[in-house]
Amino acid sequence: METTSTRTFVADLVGRVGSLPSVAAQVVSLASDPQCDVGKLARVILSDNAMSVRFLALANAAAVSRGQEIRNLRAALMRLGMRRVRNVALLMGMHDMVPADGDGQWLDPKEFWRFNLATASCAQGLAWLRQTPHDEDAWLAGLLQGIGVAAMAQRAAPEMARASRLARERRVPLAEAELRVFDFHHGEVGGRLLREWRLPEVFIDAVEYMPEDFADDELSAETRALVAVLRDAVLTVRAIGFGDNGDGDEPCRPEDLAGLLGLADPAMQALADKVDREVQEISRLIGLEVPADLFAATLAKSQEVVTQLGLEGLDETLAREDLEQQMSAAREIQQRLLPRELPALPGHRLAATNVPSLHCSGDTYDCLRMRDGAVGLTIADVSGKGMPAALLTGTLQASLRALARVSDDPGQLLEAANDALYESTDPERFATLFLAVLSPDGCGLRYASAGHNPPLLLRADGRAQWLKPAGTPLGMIPEMTYPVFPVAMEPGDIMVAYTDGVTEALAPDGSEFGEEGLESAVRATAAAGPQGVIDGLLEALALHINRPGHESAAERLLGSHAGPSGLAAAGDDITVMVLARDS
């Protein structure tokens, strides 16, 4: 129970931490008003040069602006949206109070900010994936959840160091150790601070109750959902090792995260990409350096050991006969969706192939006729195989063909396709996609990628360039943006786009074909043109997976009619598209 001396101590500590800086407080107040006067808000921000520059920089970040520069603060605020403006203003105000480059006797401020920024982004991503309303609120709550720890570390460092040692020695949560040292915990301090800053009750309650157990009737359903998201976000960021929040809790293994969060591996990958990208972007606002791609790299490392499951106990006779009849019919329909003829592209040569692993492929490629006569080249990989993947592939392809009539911007097309796929599917269904639009003069292209394998651009002079993805897969998270990148194609250059069935094809010893195998095969056949590159690549894949016999490469990959098709050879759908500029 809270005593008078405890209340006095907490009030004194909160008083020493102080209120938000004046401009930040005004921005938070104005941006929180549903009837916000954007002109007045812009004038307040303009009174702080540093804050003005930061908002303009954020609005012009590639993930927000899609290459359209904004120089007007009012336009920048409109693009960001009021919730995000509020959140960023609070971030700046908090950082002024607890700077990342400050002295840390017990808690390293840099590590604290890395942890909090990652938690904020992770909380928002989890809210999206769980379809929790007000995902921007989850971002802000993720940022605020550690403010009590920071305040106590700043104003009562010796006592916090003692509480931390106690938590580690007794193997108890930090909040429990704080109660023994202070008679209160950091959640109570954080709640007091947020009440001082006049933030909504949902944030105050979430921050205050997050470290402790509570009955359902103590909090609203909205607050309980927010606390659950925050706890899972902290669990995730701690497991990845993204900074340090000072609680000293033992992290779980990264490979256990998907099960603990109830997310499939693709959803975890989308979450990792989001956190890595956003933390890099937001950290620049406070001058903080963060490791690049830490979340994605840790996740990938944890998935290196793959368990191969057999189909034991399956009655393969009647089931296979019925399934193959259905798949053959669906395969015939799906083949009709692929381009019957590839377009003639002045100054270029184009070739493509699709090799399914289960009659019906989750892969597809297409050539889009866009407005003003432009041509778009797409290659996609829908999660899963067989009939469900093929049906979703057809839906995605039809959407892109319709959207291409109204826009030739790759980023806008992927944004619209992502929202359409998100609305019509569950988070377990997603698609990676690479889209390149050829320049009217034929000298280059503009591309955007939704988490797809990076195409190889082999230059005429022998240099290799990988067109790395910069967006999450389609259908995972709504309202995502996809940056557009220009790429020049010189005479003799070759671009090879492919799906993961190529690089992940396994040899008998378990080794993958990999990007090295792809590059080697392309270099060996580049002089033969696009179709020659495809034939050589299929031949190299067939040799890699060690399917003996005298069939052609394509036959070896597809398998004979008497044996299991595709799956026994490559294990995944294989799709390749090759574009070469004439020498």
Average pLDDT over all residues of the chain? 80
Q: What is the pLDDT of residue 102?
A: 62
Q: What is the pLDDT of residue 463?
A: 96
- pLDDT exceeds cutoff 50 at 433: yes
Give the tens place of pLDDT for each residue, 143-197.
Answer: 899 888 888 887 788 888 888 888 888 888 888 988 988 888 999 988 888 888 8
Q: What is the pLDDT of residue 464?
A: 96
Range scoring the smallest mean pLDDT among 22-36, 60-74, 333-347, 433-447 = 60-74
Q: What is the pLDDT of residue 518?
A: 96
Structure confidence at residue 560 as a pLDDT band (50, 70, 90): very low
- pLDDT exceeds cutoff 60 at 66: no
The span from the CA of 453 to the CA of 432, in Å, is 8
Highest mean pLDDT among 103-107, 225-229, 324-328, 356-360: 225-229
Q: Residues of the chain with pLDDT > 90: what percent?
A: 25
Q: What is the pLDDT of residue 322?
A: 57
Give the tens place of pLDDT for each residue, 486-545.
Answer: 999 999 999 999 999 899 888 888 788 999 999 999 999 999 999 999 999 999 998 888
The span from the CA of 37 to the CA of 272, in Å, is 36
Question: Do the beta carbons of residue 137 and residue 163 sit within 8 Å?
Answer: no
Higher-confidence residue: 271 or 566?
271
Q: What is the pLDDT of residue 89?
A: 84
Higher-confidence residue: 428 or 581?
581
Every domain range in the chain assigned CATH 1.10.3210.10: 4-302
CATH placement of domain 318-581:
3.60.40.10
- pLDDT exceeds cutoff 50 at 3: no
Q: What is the pLDDT of residue 132?
A: 77
- Please give the angle made by the CA atoms of 96, 98 and 100, to the nearest 5 degrees: 90
* Global pTM exceeds 0.85: no
Question: What tokens does 228 get?
Answer: 């659950």
Question: Do the beta carbons of residue 91 and residue 309 sit within 8 Å?
Answer: no
Q: What is the pLDDT of residue 462?
A: 95
CA-based nearest residue to 14, from 97, 96, 90: 97
**Burial letters 360-384, b for 16+ CB under 10 A, else e:** bbbbbbbbbebeeeebbbbbbbbbb
Listing from the earlier edge strand, what are the strands of the sheet with 348-355?
Answer: 348-355, 574-581, 494-498, 456-458, 464-466
Range scoring the smallest mean pLDDT among 61-65, 132-136, 397-401, 517-521 = 61-65
Q: What is the pLDDT of residue 567?
A: 31
Question: Which contiguous run of DSSP H or E holds residue 351?
Answer: strand 348-355
Every domain range in the chain assigned CATH 3.60.40.10: 318-581
CATH placement of domain 4-302:
1.10.3210.10
Q: Residues of the chain with pLDDT > 70: what percent?
A: 80
Range scoring the smallest mean pLDDT among 48-57, 405-414, 532-541 = 48-57
The span from the CA of 231 to the CA of 239, in Å, is 12
